[in-house]
């Protein structure tokens, strides 16, 4: 049975989206050239992934006067991130924001600056809740 298509980005799709988010647009050849050489991705692999991204709604293309399509992001990085976090919440934390935050806090790898930023954000929520 074929695997169900994921609406969120895979690692390889994210690499290509990172290029588009940085450049704004590009042809398959330009996107492939912007990827790290160590990945050694073939043109056809990049083309196939771009078509998948288009089917998922992450990119769109237009045809200029030449032959190559020019791809542009339809979804911004922040929107893609929110989608991935929502999927993580659903799949691993039963839609519980609290469970996700507690998991992160209990991980023990937060630096002091990160902990202080979290305190500041929570303090802002407390101020908003007061009349």
Q: Where are the strands (E) in 19-120, listed by range?
A: 59-62, 70-73
For 45-99, the pLDDT digits (tens) are 999 999 999 999 999 999 877 889 999 999 999 999 999 999 999 999 999 999 9
Per the structure, the count of domains in the chain is: 2
Q: What is the pLDDT of residue 99?
A: 94
For 21-53, the pLDDT digits (tens) are 999 999 999 999 999 999 999 999 999 999 999
Query: Side-chain half-sphere of 51: how many Cα atoms within 13 Å?
Result: 6
Joined tokens for residue 32: 């492939």
The CA distance from 95 to 88, in Å, is: 8
Whether residue 100 is predicted with pLDDT greater than 80 in this model: the reply is yes
Residues 34, 23, single domain; the answer is yes
What SS3 state is found at 62?
Answer: strand
Residues 104, 63, single domain; the answer is no
Q: What is the pLDDT of residue 129?
A: 59
Using left for φ > 0, alpha for ψ between -120 and 50, and beta otherwise, residue 36 falls in beta
Report the DSSP beta bridge partners of residue 61.
71
Residue 83, domain CATH: 1.10.10.10
Whether residue 1 is predicted with pLDDT greater than 60 in this model: the reply is no
Residues 1, 45, single domain; the answer is yes
As a dihedral over the C-alpha atoms of residue 43, residue 48, residue 50, residue 51, rounded to 10 degrees, the angle is 140
The CA distance from 12 to 114, in Å, is: 29
Q: What is the pLDDT of residue 128?
A: 65
Do 83 and 8 meet the contact criterion of CB atoms below 8 Å apart?
Answer: yes
Residues 76, 115, single domain; the answer is no
Residues 82, 100, single domain; the answer is no
Whether residue 131 is predicted with pLDDT greater than 70 in this model: the reply is no
Residues 123, 100, single domain; the answer is yes
Q: Which domain holds residue 15?
A: 1-94
The CA distance from 117 to 128, in Å, is: 17
Residues 73, 40, single domain; the answer is yes
Do 72 and 59 meet the contact criterion of CB atoms below 8 Å apart?
Answer: yes
Residues 42, 102, single domain; the answer is no
Residues 88, 115, single domain; the answer is no
Whether residue 3 is predicted with pLDDT greater than 70 in this model: the reply is no
Q: What is the pLDDT of residue 5?
A: 59
Q: What is the pLDDT of residue 108?
A: 76
């Amino acid at each position: 049975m074929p695997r169900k298509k994921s609406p969120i980005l895979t690692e390889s799709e994210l690499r290509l989206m990172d290029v588009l988010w940085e450049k704004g647009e590009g042809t398959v050849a330009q996107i492939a050239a912007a990827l790290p050489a160590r990945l050694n991705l073939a043109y056809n692999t990049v083309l196939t992934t771009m078509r998948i991204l288009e089917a998922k709604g992450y990119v769109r293309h237009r045809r200029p006067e030449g032959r190559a399509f020019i791809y542009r992001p339809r979804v911004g990085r922040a929107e893609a991130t929110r989608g991935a976090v929502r999927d993580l919440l659903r799949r691993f934390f039963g839609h519980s924001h609290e469970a996700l935050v507690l998991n992160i806090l209990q991980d023990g790898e937060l630096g002091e600056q990160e902990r202080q930023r979290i305190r500041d954000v929570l303090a802002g929520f407390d101020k908003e809740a007061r009349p």
